[in-house]
Amino acid sequence: MTPESHQPSDAFSFLGLCDLARLRGEGKVTAREVVQSCLDRIDLLNGRSKAFISLDREGALAQAKACDQSSSGETSPLRGLPYGVKDLFDVAGQVTTAGSKVFADRIADEDAESVARLRRAGGICLGKLNLHEFAYGATGENQLYGTPVNAYDHTRLAGGSSSGSAAAVAFGLIPAALGTDTGGSVRAPAALNGLVGLKPTLGLISLRGVVPYSWSLDHAGCITRSAADAALLLSALAGHDPLDPASADVEPQDYACALTPDGSLEGVTLGVPRAFYFERCDPEILAASEAVLAHLERRGARLRDVELPSMERARSVSLTIQMPEALSYHMPHLEARGELYSEEFRAGLALGQCILAEHYLRARRMLTRYRQQVDRVFEEVDALLTPATPVIAPLLGSIKVGTGKDAEPVGNAITRYTTFFNMTGHPAMTLPSGLHGSGLPMGVQLVARHFDEALLFRLASCIEGERAFAVPPPSL
C-alpha cells in the first residue's frame, strides 16, 4: 500500500455510515471524496494500526467514480459508502488469506453473499482486514501480518479475532466493517475499542463465501460507530440465502424504525443475570453497567434478576464443538501444506483429533439444552444486559489477566461474557458504557430473543442517547 503524494484529509475520519449517507444525500460530498479520504488515512495509519492486510485501491476509486456519475435515482443509503471485511470473506478477484500463509494464493471466484448484498446496495469494499489466523483466538495476535493495536492505547490489544475490523473503525480508517463471531469475535473487540459490535441471530446473515471456523457456532456480524449504523448494515445483509443450508428462512425486521433514542421503555422487562456475568469483573466496568441499568429503568424498563444455565462447563462445550469442526475443514489443507500453519493453530487442530465422536455429540446436545433453557428465561423477560467484557483491553503480549486464583488466560477473559450466546444463537450487541479511569473504553452487552434484533436497536439507541455513556474518538 503506497502512500499518495497529497496530504491526507481527516474530514470524514470519525463519521458513521448514517452521517455520510446524509451528506451524500444532501450533495455535500461525493463518493470519491469519501473513499479517497479513507485511503489517505489508511496510508497514514495502517502501519501503526495493522488493520488492513490488503487494499483494492483502484477498484474502490473506480466504483466511487461510477457511483458519482450515476447518482440520479439512487435509493440505497449505503450507495457510495466505504467499508472493509475481515479477511475470511471472499471478494471476487481478491485473495482471501484468512490471516495465514496457508491461503496466501487463494483467489476468490465470486463475492461472499454478504459482500454481494452490500455491493448491490452500492457499498464500496476498500479491502481485507487483519485477524487472528483462521479466527482462532480472541487476542487478534497475528505473527504474519502484525497484531492490530487498540486505538486508545497502542500498547494494548484491539481484541479478536476480528481485530483488524475493530482497529480499522476505531482508528477512523473506515466507518464500518464486517467480521465473524464464534465466541465474541465481533462483540469483544468492538467493546474494547469503544464501538458497537452486532452478532445477529444465528443464520440471519448468510455465511456462504466466508471461510469457516466452526459451522455450529459461526455468526457473521458488523462493527460500527453507532447502533443506527449497524441497523443500516443489517437491513442490507439480513435475509434468507437458499444456497446457504444454515441460513434462516425468516422475514427481516425494520431495524431502523426500532431506533427510538427518546422513546419510553414502558412494557420492556430487562433480565439481569448477576451470577457469573457480574462476577470477577473490573469494578469500574461493573459500576458503568449498573449505571446503564439505572438509566434504562428511569426510561421505563422493568429490571428483573434472572438465572442463566450454569457456566461451569460452557467453555468446554464450546471447545469440544469448535476444534473437531475446525479440523474437519482444515484436514485437506493440513495434508497438502501443513507446514504453513502457525504452531498455535496446529496445536489447536491436534486437540481436535483427540476429541471423540461421543464427546462431540454430547456437546451438540448441550447446545440444544442451552438454547431451550435460555428460551425459557425469555418467557419472563424481553432482553438481557451484562457487561461486555470483564476487563479493559489487555496489554500486548499478555498471557494471563488477573492475579492469584482469579488469573485466567487473556483470551478466556476477553470473551468470558460473550461465548455462551454463540452456543444459544441469540442476537447480541455490545456498545459503549463510558471511559474507564485508564482512558480505555468499557461496554455493555444486550441479548434478545431469536430474531428480535429490533429490540436490541431500541435499547441501544436509548443507551446511546445518554451522554454519560459516550466514548469520544481516540486521540491519535
Provide block-wise average pLDDT over 10 residues at a time, the chain (476 residues).
Answer: 46 93 94 96 97 98 95 79 98 98 98 98 98 98 98 98 98 98 98 98 98 98 98 98 97 92 95 97 98 98 98 95 97 95 95 95 97 98 98 97 88 98 98 98 98 98 96 92
Give domain status of residue 476, yes or no: no
pLDDT at residue 3, as a whole number: 41
86 is catalytic: yes
CA nearest neighbour of 185 among 155, 219, 150, 149:
219
161 is catalytic: yes
Q: Which of 49, 185, 226, 247 is catalytic?
A: 185
Give domain status of residue 474, yes or no: no
- For 185-218, how does the pLDDT look when each residue is reduced to its tens digit (9 = 90+)? 999 999 999 999 999 999 999 999 999 999 999 9
Q: Which of 50, 86, 128, 199 is catalytic?
A: 86
Q: Which of 37, 161, 216, 289 is catalytic?
A: 161
CA distances 322 to 183, 197, 352, 355, 419, Å, are 10, 22, 8, 10, 12
pLDDT at residue 405, as a whole number: 82
Give domain status of residue 5, yes or no: no
Give domain status of residue 12, yes or no: no
pLDDT at residue 70, as a whole number: 85
Look at the chain and report how many structural domains it folds into: 1
CA distances 224 to 35, 229, 342, 349, 395, Å, are 17, 6, 30, 32, 24
Give domain status of residue 2, yes or no: no
- The CATH number linked to 120 is 3.90.1300.10
Give domain status of residue 3, yes or no: no
128 is catalytic: no
Give domain status of residue 11, yes or no: no
> What pTM was computed for the model?
0.96
pLDDT at residue 6, as a whole number: 41
Range of the domain at 380: 17-469
pLDDT at residue 4, as a whole number: 41
